[in-house]
Amino acid sequence: MSLNTEEFSTYLTDFRHELHHFPELSSQEVETTRHIRQQLDEHQIRVLDLPLNTGLAAEMGPVDRPLFVIRSDIDALPIEEQADVSYRSEPPGIMHACGHDFHSTAA
């Protein structure tokens, strides 16, 4: 996928909004993990085959070079969202109130 700067910004914003719209509590992030894996697969980023129910690890770049690790939390908090935005959290009483939707997008 080749995107210009504006298209890439829109792509990342849409991805963050999708994560924000459907938050999951800690240890329940099955759909969040699936969605992140799907995006990584679409961009041919290697996802490691680990026995995880939620979360994942991925590698980018040549396998014979030093590895950099980026950690990103994906869980939400048991808080009712008050914001009136188009990507408002759909499940009642759960939201990404601490920026994990952004962390997952930026990582």
pLDDT tens figures, 37-46? 999 999 888 8
d(CA 62, CA 101): 28
Q: What is the pTM of this model?
A: 0.86
Question: What is the per-residue burial (b if ≥16 Cβ within 10 Å, else e) of 28-57?
Answer: ebeebbebbeeebeeeeeeeeeeeeebbee
For residue 65, pLDDT over 90 is answered with no
Amino acid letter at 105?
A: T
Mean pLDDT of the chain: 90
Asked if pLDDT for residue 93 goes beyond 80, the answer is: yes
Give how far the C-alpha of residue 15 lies from the chain's centroid of Cα atoms, to the nearest Å. 7
pLDDT at 72 over 70: yes
